[in-house]
Structure 1
């Protein structure tokens, strides 16, 4: 949520915001937590540094048939692939280190790759270049800032109108959609696919272990295949449902009147993805029907989405001659105390991962 005009920021300030968005994203913060976990393992040391097997005390299963000569509590070598691991202390630190490197590559590829894709689009499409030239914004900073914001699900762009001025640039919107998803809800499936690919390409036992025992590392974004499939089906179902409803209710609305059929479908898809994730917008939300606003209110209840109805002097009950329209939302006119309360709410939303186990009591089994 912006409280000032984005175009009032200098290039240096935009770069600083980009850095803050980068280190505040889900991928970076989870990677930081993984490094803390590795530091703990380095202090305690692994159970067995010789490989992915470790010694455990087992009682003889055939004690009754083996006679008095059998020995209980014998130490035997048990392969990890045959165990159901529940204790993270059994994980080799090399595995955590390999995962950390993979996350760093994921972070760089998603942000730099997304920036390059946006930059190439701006170079190849004159209309998009003209928009930035009129506003005096460079292609490089726009590409980097928008990509980092999209992957980090922050919803900011360097222009006041957000993505409204690019509502007819369907290819650009399609490029940003996977950036938004890969940095949040579909991060886990993307990460598992990456681990599977690295296992096939490198053949390293660390990646094989991660794929076989994702729960053993205690890293919440590592899921098994079934959980990833369920997650993808849920996300895609929500997006498709929202897109259909948006097209059904807003197809002939004033907000989409300058768009052709293809652009309307892509715009509806882009808006639907952002309603549950980043908060970027191609339309003035205040111009949408109440039904869509209620739908978005339900969808954004699951995460940090920076949607706002904007700030317009026409919405004032008592006309004020000194009022000035602004592109940012009503929060920009709130008092300092009100903004502090909103900051606390947003921080709580970002720290929701620390309370993920709090819902176990609701499982009726």
Structure 2
């Protein structure tokens, strides 16, 4: 569960309350949003230690209250005298750098990597009339302000993201509980399923909300989310949860920060902190990107899922899978197709039995699971600052605040950070890893492949391995009917009669060696989506 994959080898309804709570904690700890919090807290701790060491060695200490008590008259005074107060210079730069190129108010406006030559010239003029001692003192003040800005930015993220988690989970929980309280036929059927399987409805609502938010895709019900196939409210709320908990989290986080900045007055120092986050997002978070990368993530989500939905409607609109639904209206078919398409790239929840879908659609789903992590990973790699870059910027130096183009050329100009280079490296690594993993599983399951070729087909194994490697959790399951169909002698038929269909993943039928290998596959896939150790937010 901590890898948020969702492939299960046991029935979750067999877990007691303590076991389910343990699984929920593991899912939450492994979620992308929660993982993004860890570097923020670590950096805040490191900055705090750095500031304490600096304050100890520097008698000219400036308190944060002095930093936040600036006003516009001081700024005009600094321009006239060339001797700005300590709280003005960097805050003014963050608030007013190249106002003509500033974004117009959407949060996804022009990237802060803008032409700042006039600012650089202005800053150079600041030091023309200063003595060496005054220049050193002014630079020390600027560095202290930059450190304060970054510390306040991290402090803001440390409460924005937890609040975001609580709000989304509360929304999902209330939506599921509200749907189960209806007097409709579908709600009554779901309540009867909870009673038949001995599951507490409230606990199930919490579990499903966390599962959707963490993109695990598990459900305490044996049927996964198939009973909710006609519940539009649950499908919409779960869609908001798994998109907001993974794929669309970076754009949503940027939009939230833009909204908070808009609500602040011009003379509020916190507005400059939000400006800092919007202009230099990769200085503070692994999941906060510039506007172009945020738009690119949104475009890829729309593009990939549009392709999935079109393929689903073209191949499955009149299929037996949709014909088996209690409600076969066009709206329900479209909702189920959209929900299944959105889940393919991340969460692994299913409202349809995947084994009944057409092979061509399953091939498309396999490809989507394999590249699920690409948009966010490539955006992170493309916008990262390496440890060397930070040494050049002196970590907290205001030089990158004054000259954002220097920051851009350092990060974007390197060959290792080009999208094409990162894509080729990731694709090569994934192809090699998947080939080795599939080969080893097929070797370990050779006996089952010979005796049960339909269930243990190469495609079924490939689908399961890709699902585990992509941390998705979709599975084609295991069917006794296919085993019976493939049996050709009496002894095999007798064994087939004793077979029982199970509601857990296909990998639950694998040997112990294959299961251990699949666990390694999940862990390897989880590490694939994590930032590198030289990422600007980590190093």
Q: Does TM, normalized by the shorter one, top 0.5?
A: yes
Residue deviations 1:64-99 (CA, integer Å, cap 9, x gap): xx89x986993346998xx9xxxx968532221111
Q: Does 1:288 align with 2:350?
A: no
Q: Summarize the Cα distance change of 1:245–1:72 in structure 2 as closer, same or farther, 3 Å threshold.
A: farther
**Alignment match of 2:282 (pick from 181, 206, 215):** 215
Shift of 1:201: 2.6
The CA distance in 1 between the partners of 2:134 and 2:529, in whole Å, is 40
**Aligned residue number for residue 200 of structure 2:** 138
**Aligned residue number for residue 101 of structure 1:** 159
C-alpha contact (below 8 Å) 1:3/1:332 kept by paired residues: yes
Matches within 5 A, 1:90-239: 91-126=149-184, 127-136=186-195, 137-203=199-265, 204-205=270-271, 206-217=273-284, 219-239=285-305
**Aligned residue number for residue 322 of structure 1:** 498
The CA distance in 1 between the partners of 2:210 and 2:159, in whole Å, is 20
The CA distance in 2 between the partners of 1:176 and 1:9, in whole Å, is 23
**Aligned residue number for residue 22 of structure 1:** 28
Q: Summarize the Cα distance change of 1:124–1:79 in structure 2 as closer, same or farther, 3 Å threshold.
A: farther
- TM-score w.r.t. structure 1 length? 0.85
**Aligned residue number for residue 362 of structure 1:** none
Q: Secondary structure of 2:503's partner?
A: coil
Residue deviations 1:334-353 (CA, integer Å, cap 9, x gap): 22221121111111222224
Q: Secondary structure of 2:46's partner?
A: helix
Unaligned runs of 5+ in 1: 359-365
Shift of 1:22: 1.2
C-alpha contact (below 8 Å) 1:54/1:78 kept by paired residues: no
Name whichever of 43-52 and 225-234 sits farther off. 43-52
**Alignment match of 1:266 (pick from 300, 319, 335):** 335
C-alpha contact (below 8 Å) 2:194/2:201 kept by paired residues: no
C-alpha contact (below 8 Å) 1:313/1:324 kept by paired residues: yes
C-alpha contact (below 8 Å) 2:204/2:220 kept by paired residues: yes
**Aligned residue number for residue 472 of structure 2:** 305
The CA distance in 1 between the partners of 2:530 and 2:472, in whole Å, is 19
Name whichever of 106-115 and 185-194 sits farther off. 106-115
Name whichever of 126-135 and 232-241 sits farther off. 126-135
Q: Does 1:338 align with 2:514?
A: yes
Q: Secondary structure of 2:247's partner?
A: coil
**Alignment match of 1:279 (pick from 344, 348, 351):** 348
Q: Secondary structure of 2:287's partner?
A: coil
C-alpha contact (below 8 Å) 2:13/2:221 kept by paired residues: yes
Shift of 1:277: 0.8
Name whichever of 96-105 and 316-325 sits farther off. 316-325
The CA distance in 2 between the partners of 1:300 and 1:274, in whole Å, is 9
How many residue pairs are counted as aligned between the two chains? 347
Q: Secondary structure of 1:351's partner?
A: helix
Matches within 5 A, 1:68-79: 74-75=135-136, 76=138
C-alpha contact (below 8 Å) 2:171/2:237 kept by paired residues: no
**Aligned residue number for residue 406 of structure 2:** none
Q: Summarize the Cα distance change of 1:31–1:101 in structure 2 as closer, same or farther, 3 Å threshold.
A: same
Shift of 1:116: 1.3
- RMSD, aligned α-carbons: 3.1
**Aligned residue number for residue 250 of structure 1:** 316
C-alpha contact (below 8 Å) 1:91/1:216 kept by paired residues: no
**Aligned residue number for residue 6 of structure 1:** 12
The CA distance in 2 between the partners of 1:11 and 1:70, in whole Å, is 70
Q: Does 1:37 align with 2:43?
A: yes
Q: Secondary structure of 2:21's partner?
A: helix
Q: Summarize the Cα distance change of 1:300–1:249 in structure 2 as closer, same or farther, 3 Å threshold.
A: same
C-alpha contact (below 8 Å) 1:114/1:147 kept by paired residues: yes
The CA distance in 1 between the partners of 2:533 and 2:297, in whole Å, is 18
The CA distance in 2 between the partners of 1:78 and 1:150, in whole Å, is 48
Q: Summarize the Cα distance change of 1:49–1:212 in structure 2 as closer, same or farther, 3 Å threshold.
A: farther
Shift of 1:3: 0.6
